[in-house]
């Protein structure tokens, strides 16, 4: 899963932070995803809502992992 708001080469922006926060809120479920936190500014609300939808989708369908086996020693 990738944040669509990141710009190459992976530069974090206010929209990227809002998308990530929305993803976490959406993944946690309805009690947490019903309202954005106070520090999401109005111009980032679209990115937040897109992140919420992506988080809800991931909670329903599961997270896609690229590696099937993780080496915990690394």
So what's the pLDDT on residue 21? 85
> Is 28:60 a contact under the CB 8 Å cutoff?
no
For residue range 43-56, list pLDDT tens digits in order.
688 888 888 889 99
- What is the predicted pLDDT for the residue at 13? 77
The CB-based long-range contact list for 61-67 (8 Å cut-off, 24+ gap) reads: 63/1, 64/1
Q: What per-residue confidence (pLDDT) applies to 33?
A: 54
Residues in the chain where the model's pLDDT stays below 50? none
| Domain spans of the chain, in order of start | 12-27+45-63
Q: The pTM is what? A: 0.66
């Amino acid at each position: 899963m990738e944040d669509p708001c990141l710009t190459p080469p992976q530069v974090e922006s206010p929209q990227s932070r809002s998308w990530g926060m929305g993803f976490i809120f959406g993944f946690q479920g309805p009690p947490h995803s019903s309202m954005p936190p106070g520090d999401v500014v109005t111009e980032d609300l679209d990115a937040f809502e897109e992140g919420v939808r992506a988080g809800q989708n991931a909670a329903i369908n599961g997270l896609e992992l690229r590696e099937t086996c993780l080496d915990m020693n690394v």
